[in-house]
A = this chain, B = another copy of it.
Amino acid sequence: MASIPRELVDLLGADAVVAPDGDLSAWEAGVRGDRGDAAFVLRPADTDAVAAAVGCCVRHGIPFVPQSGNTGLVGGSTPDASADQAVLSVERLNRVCEIDVDNRSVRVGAGMRLSELNARLEREGLCFPVDLGADPMVGGMVATNTGGARFLRYGDVRANTLGLTVVLPDAEGTVLRLDQALRKDNTGPDWKQLFIGTSGAFGIVTECVLNVEPLPRERATAILVPRDEAAIFDLLRRLETRLGADLSAFEFMSGNAMRHALAHAPSVRNPFSDEAIPPIALLVEIARTAPAGEGEATLAEVLERTLADLWEAADEPLSDALFGPPEELWPLRHALSEGVKHAGRLFAFDLAFARTDVMRFRASMTERLATDWPELEVCDFGHVGDGGIHFNLVCHDRERCQSAGYEQALRDAVVQHAVEDFGGSFSGEHAIGRANQRYYDRYTPDVLKTLADRFSEALGLQATGAARFGHDGTDEQ
């Protein structure tokens, strides 16, 4: 185990360093069962302290993993089992929160929770529109480039990042201030892009300038049962054309996932006629920033009218349409994740495709699984409006799925089919981390690995984070 350099304690103060004889468990365990062993934990409280900490670690050859809210799903924020890695937590960088109402932007510390940020923005009639089930800190959201349920309307974190302050993992802890609150700026390469979605491997985000949006004031939702899988993107295309940017979510739910959610969460209402769960359903939401004025149609009326047109369309794309207020319909969607977790041993995949390929992949993979892995049940759901799908597999033969090599073989087979046969992404919105390193190593063209190698070398960067970009991966194919 690495000892804590005296210099580090002098630089940061004793309260910013948690020694291994303290309780480090909160920083060592992630939410998907990833659990490591940290050498020690650093909790600097501002950018300068992060720079001092990083420089010192690099000079002493101590590897470290930046950690934000530690809500990530790919082992990107936890140390490995070696007990050699320090954890550098940005949790104390939560004081800066400067809202600029007229610029519709906020300057915020990397350690601010999304919920806290939104609570403060709400007082100004604003919100940060990247909407997630978890409650991460914004530094980690940038490092992961999170998407979420309203990607269709607002895009990902990248699309909403105006500026970043970053500490490079070099011997000086160089601070890059790419932090102007400008919406347009074409005065050179946009270097901040390399620190978005790269799990802290190239630098530690300490402060962000984010675009914020007017708070939606009216929402309307419906659950649609499409005629069949082929009708899904036909429905999406028509809704996008009819509703434009008012369409804020278009979520896919498989019958299996809905069944487990309803079984696990009895308080969630079954919205279907006779409670008969269809094989696939869609949750559609429209939203506006101002409620309907006098004499104007409410959003619920707009949605009903739109769906009535679809209902009467000659090609009959809908086989059912169920209206209900958002607070009645979203709970089913939100219960899917916990529901499938409790249904059996879960193997989760965060895949993305060109929209048209999502259902083609799903059909093909389901067929393959039925042959080779009959113990698995496809319980998927996802943000299909942007091509993303959480392709979840629940195993009902616990013994078999715990056998040696089972999980790796399964993961390899699913990712291979998605990437090689459908041009898909093996990580739509969860980034790389340790969990996806194998597939970065396997599917990244050599020319891009070389680019990453040389970029890191040229910058004198010490490898950091739980993701490694370049040729130093550990894939043993």
Measured CB to CB, the residues of A under 8 A from B are 100-105, 125, 144-145, 147, 151, 153, 155-156, 158-159, 174, 176-177, 180-191, 193-194, 196-198, 202, 214, 216, 233-234, 236-237, 240-246, 288-290, 293, 295-297, 302, 305, 352-356, 383, 386-388, 423-432, 436, 439-440, 443-445, 447-448, 451-452, 454-455, 457-459, 469
Contact = CB atoms under 8 A, between A and B. Distances in A.
B151 A184 contact: yes
B245 A246 contact: yes
Nearest to A443: B187
A285 to B, nearest CB: 14
Contacts of A190: 158, 193-194, 196-197
Contact of A187 (B100, B297, B444): B444
A429 B352 contact: no
Given A125-B241, A290-B242, A459 B454 contact: yes
A120 to B, nearest CB: 17
B448 A191 contact: yes
A204 to B, nearest CB: 15
A357 to B, nearest CB: 8
Nearest to A178: B448
A386 B242 contact: no
Given A102-B233, A240-B214, A455-B455, A444 B289 contact: no
Contact of A188 (B186, B240, B444): B444
Contact of A354 (B100, B153, B444, B447): B100
A426 B356 contact: no
A300 to B, nearest CB: 14
A387 B236 CA distance: 33
Given A190-B193, A193-B194, A244 B185 contact: no
A413 to B, nearest CB: 18
Given A245-B245, A425-B180, A104 B355 contact: yes
A142 to B, nearest CB: 12
Contact of A469 (B155, B188, B214): B188
A151 B354 CA distance: 25
Contact of A296 (B297, B427, B443, B459): B297
A240 B289 contact: yes
B189 A194 contact: yes
Given A190-B193, A296-B297, A352 B185 contact: yes
A406 to B, nearest CB: 24
A179 B265 CA distance: 42
Given A214-B240, A289-B244, A290-B243, A187 B439 contact: yes
A295 B297 contact: yes
B159 A447 contact: no
Contact of A102 (B196, B216, B355, B425): B355
A448 B356 contact: no
Nearest to A74: B186
A352 B454 contact: no
A187 B436 contact: yes
B183 A151 contact: yes
Given A158-B190, A159-B155, A182 B444 contact: no
Contacts of A458: 454-455, 457-458
A208 to B, nearest CB: 15
